[in-house]
Structure 1
Amino acid sequence: MKITRIEAIPYAIPYSKPLRFASGEVTVAQHVLVRVHTDDGVVGVADAPPRPFTYGETQRGVLAVIEDIFAPQLVGTTLLEREVVSDRLSRTVGNPVAKAAVDMAVWDALGKTLDLPVTDLLGGYTDRMRVSHMLGFDEPAAMVAEAERMRDTYGITTFKVKVGRTPFQLDTAVVRALREGLGEEVELYVDGNRGWTPAESARAMHEMADLGLLFAEELCPADDVLGRRWLVQQCDVPFIADESAVTAADVTREILGGAATAISIKTSRTGFTGSARVLHLAEGLGIEVVMGNQIDSQLGSMCTVVFGSAYRLTSRRAGELSNFLDMSDDLLTEPLDIRDGHLAVRPGAGLGVEVDPDKLAHFRTDH
């Protein structure tokens, strides 16, 4: 069970449809595949999706911190020493995506070693989650058409709508068009990626008050402390902290400071170990939780559903699990399959998925 080697492999897969939102645009998945090797011959895998416009991490930065810092610190530890692994990773400031991928690859290797699914090791509450699909910036008709396609093809009935453009009236018109086009049975919530001011956010939420929104997420900058607290007091739906609440300490600050009333958990930035800490804190505080998406690959999306389905609270709401559909290809041997609006965990040890060596050889960029 000893870790003997940690690999970080850069790869790039273009998106067939770029995702556009207030803080950036993604046209190519420039990710890092992380592989944890043990002395038993087991290999655990996970995906690191750098998001420089959100956390400051780049693909080259993820490679460097894993190869130069994390790997030397962790080689020689065992898969059961997860608290030791967590402690050593925490010595380095920042780098949430790199840390999360190493953590999840360790969990995958542990599950494979014990011949148990990771979701059962975490909690084993259920075996699937409802799927929420993120809709990026576009004209109202195009966004309605995409939502209709997702509903008709995959049975998805929950949509997270990217907002935060200026002027904000275009975004409110989009949300209204989605409600009118899809009907009342569809769940809608909005994510501003910090694009509006508090005043714009309050006006927009007032204009959309009759649309039955589930949540509002990160509508204005997190460092606008007083404005954000004022905005949350104006909202009559849960206000989700996402980019502003990466760690459990961040969650405590945001919730107790009145800057949010709900939390997005993303395994791609807190792994399984850190995500469990955030989840249990949320349970203690009595707040809503949504499983978020880092514009994840299929491997990243499987990590999300493996964690989200393991617990009662995280499986209550639809998880953001479908944006891999916009990638032109992927690394897994068996593509994920969304059916009737749900994504199920795979049977088998660990994460239940395998990386196709031929696809990895084709898409890796370190030849």
Structure 2
Amino acid sequence: MKIERIEAIPFAIPYAKKLQFASGEVDTARHVLVRVHTTDGLIGTAEAPPRPFTYGETQASIIAIINDVFAPQITGLTIFQRERVRALLDRTIGNPTAKAAVDMALWDLIGQSLGASVTDLLGGFGEGMRVCHMLGFDTPEVMVEQAHRMRENYGISTFKVKVGRHPVDLDVAVCRALRAEFGDAIELYIDGNRGWSASESAEALRQMADLGLTLAEELCPADDVLGRRWLVRQAPIPFVADESVPTQADVTRELLGGSATAISIKTARTGFSASQRILGQCEGMGVEVVMGNQIDGQIGTACTVAFGAAFAHTSKRAGELSNFLDMSDDLLVDPLQISDGVLSTRPGPGLGIAVDESKLSHYREDR
């Protein structure tokens, strides 16, 4: 079963509510649908969400690298030659989400060909994950209302609060309001997207020391090497590296250098193959992980839960699996459903997803 061709289709779906955070904002999901076709007529599917303010990729660059570089390199290989594909793609520097989407589409094909789910192929630990919802910048009142809606409608009780504004009091006030409203009924952690300095981060953590936060993610830039290490040494909770660890080598550097004590794994960034390796690194070093969200649509979210549910270590914490709820529409024939705070893996072989061709025709941007 050989790779016959690859499609990279740009599409744009507006968000019902714009998500704002320290490194940017998103009001439209301008993503790329990646489909790998085989000579036997199967189609593997994945989603590449460009984040130019984080990795330098754009919708146009993802399409160009897949069409001009990746497709010519791997067309003609079998779908089981994952390591050969990985070696060829890694000859090109960067482009993490383009590489990840190709990798995940191949896993989807392998599952379909074998009649097995990707989750079972990867590890088969569970059948779903508890869900964490990300709350973007807004007033305390609005963010409390959003948390109420997520709890009442979907049973979600874990929230990741975007922080990194100036002064730090703005975000401290939000976290205080959430804790005051919900008490111990919710889990809270924070993500700064590199928005604060090390000293501002330390002050914010000091002011929020009584709020029972469970994680602090990328509060200051990893490039501020000494300041970041100084901050992590005094952090009272695990300090998560996310956008600073796009490769295995980066994970090693951040952990051994004392710039992080936990890792966010994003399948949108490292696919299934590299994510397995990163998970193994973290398990071997006794480091906690969280399944992160690249503001994925439902296709990307299906990939995240397929990986996260496959392993015991990734299932310990709630995964960031719900921000597709902020989109006005999506591409799946059978939409994802969150119930009682849990997102289940899809039944069926591969990723268990099917694209609604009429919706794709409506939202695609290349016609």
CA distance in 1, matches of 2:347, 2:105: 17
Equivalences for residues 92-171 of structure 1 within 5 A: 92-171=92-171
Q: Secondary structure at the match of 2:14?
A: strand
Moved over 4 A (4+): none
Aligned equivalent of 1:243:
243
Q: Answer yes or no: is 1:2 the counterpart of 2:2.
A: yes
Q: CA deviation at 1:239?
A: 0.1
Q: Tell me, what secondary structure is at the counterpart of 1:55?
A: coil
Q: Distance in 1 between matches of 2:193 and 2:80?
A: 37
The residue identity in structure 1 corresponding to 2:56 is G
CA distance in 2, matches of 1:31, 1:265: 20
TM-score by length of 1: 1.00
Secondary structure at the counterpart of residue 339 of structure 2:
coil
SS in 1 for 2:124: coil
The equivalent residue for 1:315 is 315
The residue type equivalent to 1:195 in the other structure is G
Please report how far the alpha carbon of residue 185 of structure 1 lies from its aligned counterpart in structure 2 after TM superposition.
2.1
Deviations 1:42-66 (A, max 9, x none): 0000000000011000000000000
1:202-217 to 2 correspondence within 5 Å?
Answer: 202-217=202-217
Cα distance in 1 for partners of 2:314, 2:141 equals 32
Give the equivalent residue in structure 1 for 2:47: 47
Structure 1 residue identity aligned to 2:183:
G
Let me know the Cα RMSD of the aligned residues.
0.5
2:187 matched to 1:199? no
Which whole-Å CA distance do the structure 2 matches of 1:49 and 1:64 have between them? 14
Q: 5 Å matches for 1:1-367?
A: 1-367=1-367
Q: Which amino acid aligns with 1:270?
A: T
Cα distance in 2, alignment partners of residues 222 and 61 from structure 1: 25
What is the CA distance between 1:193 and its match in structure 2? Answer: 0.2
SS of equivalent to 2:284: helix
* SS state at 1:52 partner: coil
Report Cα offsets for 1:181-206 as digits up to 9, x if no partner: 11112100000000000000000000
Counterpart amino acid of 1:177?
A: A
Return the alpha-carbon distance in structure 2 between the equivalents of residues 278 and 240 of structure 1.
Answer: 14
Once the two structures are TM-superposed, the CA of residue 234 in structure 1 deviates from its matched residue by 1.4
Aligned-partner Cα distance in 2 for 1:362–1:153: 28
Q: What's the CA shift string for 1:88-118, capped at 9, x where partnerless?
A: 1100000000000000001101111111101
Structure 1 alignment gaps of length 5 or more: none
Partners of 2:176 and 2:246 in 1: CA distance:
31
Local SS of the residue matching 1:316: coil
Give deviations 1:303-330, integer Å, cap 9, x for gaps: 0000000000001100000000000000
C-alpha distance in 2 between matches for 1:63 and 1:69:
10
Distance, in Å, in 1 between the alignment partners of 2:252 and 2:206 is 28
Give unpaired runs (5+ residues) of structure 2.
none
Letter in 2 for 1:63: I
Distance 1:145 1:356 in 2: 32
CA distance in 1, matches of 2:293, 2:26: 13
Give, as a single letter, the amino acid of the residue that structure 2 aligns with 1:295: I
Instruction: State the one-letter code of the partner of 2:227.
Output: G
Q: Write the distance in 1 (CA, Å) between the matches of 2:247 and 2:211.
A: 32
Q: Which amino acid aligns with 1:355?
A: V
Specify the SS of the correspondent of 1:67. Answer: helix
Letter in 1 for 2:187: E
Q: Which amino acid aligns with 2:258?
A: G
Structure 2 length-normalised TM? 1.00
Number of corresponding residues: 367
